[in-house]
Amino acid sequence: MGFRDIFVRTSSVESLTYDVSASLAPVTTLDSLSPFFRGGRTATREEAMSVPAIARGRNIICSSIASIGLEVRDRMTGMGVDVPRVIRTPDPRIPGVATYVWTLEDLLFYGYGYWQITELFSDTQRVRSVQRISPDRVTINTNSDSTEIESYSIDGYTPLPLTGVGSMVVFYGNDEGLLNRAGMTIRTGAELERAAALYAREPVPQMVLKSNGTALPADRIAKLLESWGASRRNRTTAFLNADISLETLGFDPEKLQLASARSYIATELARALGIPAYFIDAETGSSMTYSNAATTRQTLLDFSLIPLMNSITERLSMPDFVPSTQRVEYALDDYLRGSALERAQIYEILNRVGALSAEEIRIQEEMIR
């Protein structure tokens, strides 16, 4: 070692680099690269959230998952270990639930979710903090055949680094995203909502005021129409002079079957969301009863939540977040917690066979802290 080497700071963790955070991956389908290859059949988030069925379905799915806590367990023993802060609160500037809700929405709507690494641990080089990046800000740069992702850019600027601070943590969904695969249905639903709003403002078929006398000047016509519209919003009874007559064109909402069309689209959107229609009140005449209320959460978990939950836990279980000997999973015990009667019956059986003592039951029921 030379004299100069004494003052040079060396790192003992140079070999501990985890490039999985932005490792390149194949392009599964060009449809999943929206909004980069946006087509006429793709809807926007604004159109989707303007449809009540989608807004309710999104809130149920994303908020339900975000409300379930994450835990870290040893892969061999299954024992729980301390949860890193980045798992609980990925972005320390905002509550962790907010980051997860919006990330889950990105997976649901776009098929991708993005976090940008803002800080690493100096000793392990694992992720310490991130910030969520909206997919519509991200550009995916592919090879000439559009089969391999080569880099990512934000807001169209220079490509991001592939590893380290500034690189991307990418969550992969199970398909090309709701806005792509159900874009036409979403846009139809948005148009029906606009039609309903139009008929709410003008609750009669399209009207034409016809002058039976001389032609009126433009300013007189404008004042007449403005006065007519204001009067119709305030009262239903109208009066016309002999020189003005009213003609109606088109059909009213009942003849257009607007309510039936909106109900049908709501059911189709429930199918697209992967959520039972009764969760978003899409099926007319259906309601939850006591007989199926006990299995509601399990049904929601099986049919709607698990695919998105796996996308989150599988990515967080990679070695740039936790050691390879550990895995991240959702703590479902409280979410699937039964009623007091059901728990009492289970505890009675477990206590009778000697699996749980009375004190252990009190601990599980939080009677002893």
In this structure, the answer to whether residues 237 and 276 fall within a common structural domain is: no
Exposure letters 181-200 (e unless 16+ CB within 10 A, then b): bbbebbbbbbebbeeeeeee
Domain extent at residue 243: 206-249
In this structure, the answer to whether residues 210 and 308 fall within a common structural domain is: no
Tell whether the torsion through CA atoms of 57, 63, 69 and 70 is positive or negative.
positive
In this structure, the answer to whether residues 111 and 136 fall within a common structural domain is: yes
In this structure, the answer to whether residues 268 and 351 fall within a common structural domain is: no
Cis-peptide, bond into residue 92, ω within 30° of zero: no
Per-residue model confidence (pLDDT) at position 317: 95
In this structure, the answer to whether residues 225 and 311 fall within a common structural domain is: no
**What tokens were used for 162?**
């592939």
Residue 276 burial (C-beta neighbours within 10 Å; 0-12, 13-18, 19+): buried
**What tokens were used for 115?**
């976090």
Nearest to 183 by CA among 111, 112, 261, 259: 111
In this structure, the answer to whether residues 119 and 267 fall within a common structural domain is: yes
Per-residue model confidence (pLDDT) at position 34: 46
In this structure, the answer to whether residues 164 and 213 fall within a common structural domain is: no
In this structure, the answer to whether residues 216 and 107 fall within a common structural domain is: no
Per-residue model confidence (pLDDT) at position 5: 44
Per-residue model confidence (pLDDT) at position 279: 83
Per-residue pLDDT in tens (0 to 9) along the chain, 369 residues:
444 444 444 433 344 555 554 456 767 665 555 444 445 568 899 999 999 999 999 999 999 999 999 999 999 998 989 999 999 999 999 999 999 999 999 999 999 999 999 999 999 899 999 999 999 999 888 888 878 888 899 998 889 998 889 999 999 988 889 999 898 999 998 888 887 777 766 655 567 777 777 777 888 888 888 887 787 777 767 777 777 777 765 555 555 556 777 788 888 899 999 888 888 876 654 555 544 444 777 888 888 899 999 999 999 999 999 999 999 999 987 777 766 666 777 778 888 888 888 888 787 776 655
**What tokens were used for 171?**
């969550």
Per-residue model confidence (pLDDT) at position 36: 45
In this structure, the answer to whether residues 85 and 220 fall within a common structural domain is: no
CA–CA separation, 50 and 61 (whole Å) = 17
In this structure, the answer to whether residues 317 and 217 fall within a common structural domain is: no
Instruction: Give the 3-state secondary structure of the chain.
Output: CCCHHHHCCCCCCCCCCCHHHHCCCECCCHHHHCCCCCCCCCCCHHHHHCCHHHHHHHHHHHHHHHCCCEEEEECCCCCEECCCHHHHCCCCCCCHHHHHHHHHHHHHHHCEEEEEEEEECCCCCCEEEEEEECHHHEEEEECCCCCEEEEEEECCCCCCCCCCCCCEEEEECCCCCHHHHCHHHHHHHHHHHHHHHHHHHCCCCEEEEEECCCCCCHHHHHHHHHHHHHHHHHCCCCCCCCCEEEEEECCCHHHHCHHHHHHHHHHHHHHHHCCCHHHHCCCCCCCCCHHHHCCHHHHHHHHHHHHHHHHHHHHHCCCCCCCCCEEEEECCCCCCCCCHHHHHHHHHHHHHCCCCCHHHHHHHCCCCC
- What is the count of structural domains for the chain? 3
In this structure, the answer to whether residues 130 and 172 fall within a common structural domain is: yes
Per-residue model confidence (pLDDT) at position 284: 52
CATH of residue 224's domain is 3.30.1120
In this structure, the answer to whether residues 223 and 357 fall within a common structural domain is: no
* C-beta separation of 335 from 68 below 8 A: yes
